[in-house]
Amino acid sequence: MTAIIIENIKTKVSTTGKLEDLLISEFESTKNSLFGNIFLREQAMKSFYGQGIPNRKQEEYKYLNIDLHLKGEYTLKNNKTLASKQIEPLRILKDAFTIVVENGVFNTDLSTLTNLPEGLTICSLSEAYKKYPQIFEKHYAQYADINTDAFIALNTAMAKDGVFIHVKKNLAIANPIHIIHISKQDQNSIINPRNLIIVDANAQAKIIESYEIIDSTAKVFNNSLTEIVVEADAIVDHYKIQDEKSFGYLLSTSQVIQKKQSVFSTHTFTLSGSLVRNNLNVILDDEGIESNLNGLYLTNETQIIDNHTLVDHRKPKCNSNELYKGIIDGKSTATFNGKIFVRKDAQKTNAFQSNKNILLSDDGTINTKPQLEIYADDVKCSHGTSTGKLDEDKIFYLRARGLSETSAKKLLMHAFASEVVDTIKINELREYIEAKITIRFE
């Protein structure tokens, strides 16, 4: 049935030459070689086609004309060409289990997955589909709803591969798990990386996802999607480091579901990339949950950074804290859109959100849209946002003590960023980010 519908869509539109059409024809020719449930994939493609690539008329993409940025010719072919030494500088954590995902495909040769503790499974999604069908079926594509966002639908339809991580009950993993998404392309390409992370009850894990592009000569659009399941009493510390330079066009969705009394903290650092859009959706699906969402974005030149967060309080007695900060320079545009959604049953909710921006240049733009949507009365919810320049009085204070104007400004920017950087709990990672920020402020 679905196949017929897709067939119809295909014949109907094949003459218009839109990106959607390229994707649908690519899908038709490769769908039988992809892992997982083909019926789900067809559903997703249909949904993607129905929604189309979003434009500014859609409220959720009001400040991001992603349709225009994605115009052009693309290939969906991925080659494996990386050599081990190219990866070395990206292995930022010495004692981490490192997974290399090259152009959306799990690269076993470059990953360091020896000595995994008992109870920790790390493998490719296609492998997990075969080896652990029960747990795969239970969680895969169960949280990221294909009908809520066109890019979720696209990823669900076309993901070639990705990372599967499963931490068993009561297991606390000391070493961080580092997923390096690396792209290397000489033609405009679209990649749909996908991850599924399941942390069972009372387990603990630290997971880092970094996005890098090396030795490329063409535009790389990564439509990445990570689903994270945090079971009861589990503690998950999650990091995203986005540093894709000028060829990078990244749409990065995180779909998180939290169970009773779990703690989930996520930290998003956007350091570079032509276009970065983060969709971070956290569902607090039981009582006593804590969620922390932190973000830092430093923009320059003509970059566009758009952070969208949704904190969905479904049950009573949960706490959420959100802190996003940005420094905007050049002709760049930064957008923050954060929504706190408190459902009818979620009494005794505490939800706080803060967004602060510094605008350094004449041509930069900041858009912020913090939203509260609240249907329960016994709650404490607040959001605050402020935008301004560097404080003249503070600069004066520092200069009066002998600092040059530039170093005074640098110091203040460091201080501004440190509120977010200090939330990093892995020392090595914090030092890495600090070093990156220092270079940026030079």
Partner 1 sequence: MANEILEEKINEEYKYGFVTDIEADNAPKGLNEDIIRFISKKKNEPEWMLENRLKALRYWLTLEEPSWAHVSYNKPNFQDIIYYSAPKPKKVLNSLDEVDPELLKTFEKLGISIEEQKRLSGVESRVAVDIIMDSVSVKTTFKEVLSEKGIIFCSFGEAVQEHPELIKKYMGTVVPFTDNYYAALNAAVFTDGSFCYIPKGVRCPMELSTYFRINSAGTGQFERTLIIADEDSYVSYLEGCTAPMRDENQLHAAVVELAAHKGAEIKYSTVQNWYPGDKNGLGGIFNFVTKRGICLGDNSKISWTQVETGSAITWKYPSVILKGDNSVGEFYSVAVTNNYQQADTGTKMMHLGKNTRSTIISKGISAGYSNNSYRGLVRIAKGASNARNFSQCDSLLMGDKCGAHTFPYIEIKDKTAIVEHEATTSKIGEDQLFYCKQRGIDNEKAIGLIVNGYCKEVLNKLPMEFAVEAQKLLAVSLEGSVG
| Interface positions with partner 1 (CB under 8 A) | 59, 344, 347, 357, 359-389
User: What three-state secondary structure class fits 333?
Assistant: strand
Determine the Cα–Cα distance for residues 123 and 194; give it in Å rounded to an integer. Answer: 12
Shortest Cβ 152–partner 1 spacing (Å): 22
- Minimum Å gap between C-beta 300 and partner 1 is 14
Between 35 and 341, CB nearer to partner 1: 341
Residue 382's φ and ψ, nearest 5 degrees, are -150, 155
Among 180, 154, 161, 185, which Cα is nearest to 78's?
185
Q: Which is nearer to partner 1, 254 or 355 (CB)?
A: 355
The CB-of-345 to partner 1 minimum distance in angstroms stands at 9
Q: Which is nearer to partner 1, 37 or 387 (CB)?
A: 387
The distance of closest approach from Cβ of residue 339 to partner 1 in the complex, given in angstroms and rounded to an integer, is 9
* Dihedral sign, Cα of residue 86, residue 91, residue 96, residue 99: negative
Q: Shortest approach of partner 1 to residue 423 CB, angstroms? A: 22
DSSP-assigned beta bridge partners for residue 273: none
How far is the C-alpha of 197 from the C-alpha of 145, rounded, in Å?
Answer: 16
Residue closer to partner 1 (CB basis): 277 or 313? 313
Q: Buried b / exposed e across 389-401, counting CB within 10 Å, b at 16+? A: ebeeeebeebeee
Minimum Å distance from CB 379 to partner 1? 6
* Residue 126 or 368 having the CB closest to partner 1: 368
Closest distance of CB 284 from partner 1, Å: 17
CA atoms within 13 A on the CB side of 352: 8
Task: Give DSSP secondary structure letters for 193-256.
Answer: -EEEEEE-TT-EEEEEEEEEE-S--S-EEEEEEEEEEE-TT-EEEEEEEEE-GGGEEEEEEEEE
Helices (runs of H) and strands (runs of E) counted in the chain: 11, 20
Q: Where are the beta strands (DSSP E) in 47-126?
A: 97-102, 105-112, 120-124
Cβ proximity to partner 1, 102 vs 329, nearer residue: 329
Closest separation in Å from C-beta 71 to partner 1:
24
Task: Kindly state the smallest distance separating residue 315's Cβ from partner 1, in Å.
Answer: 14
Task: Compute the least distance from the CB of residue 368 to partner 1, in Å.
Answer: 4
Token pair in block for residue 110: 């470059």
Cα torsion through 123, 127, 128, 133, rounded to 10: -170
Contact 207, 93 (CB under 8 A): no
Within its chain, how far is the Cα of 42 from the centroid? 24
Write the single-letter amino acid at 154. Answer: L
**CA–CA dist 52, 151 (Å, integer):** 9
Q: Which is nearer to partner 1, 176 or 370 (CB)?
A: 370
Q: Cα separation of 217 and 190, whole Å?
A: 14
CA distances from 95 to 84, 91, 276, 416 (A): 17, 10, 29, 30
Closest CA to 221 of 342, 426, 68, 82: 68
- Of 88 and 377, the one with the shorter C-beta distance to partner 1 is 377
Q: Closer CB to partner 1, residue 59 or residue 442?
A: 59
Shortest distance (Å) from residue 274 CB to partner 1: 20
> Which lies closer to partner 1 via its Cβ, residue 188 or residue 387?
387
Which one, 31 or 394, has the nearer CB to partner 1?
Answer: 394
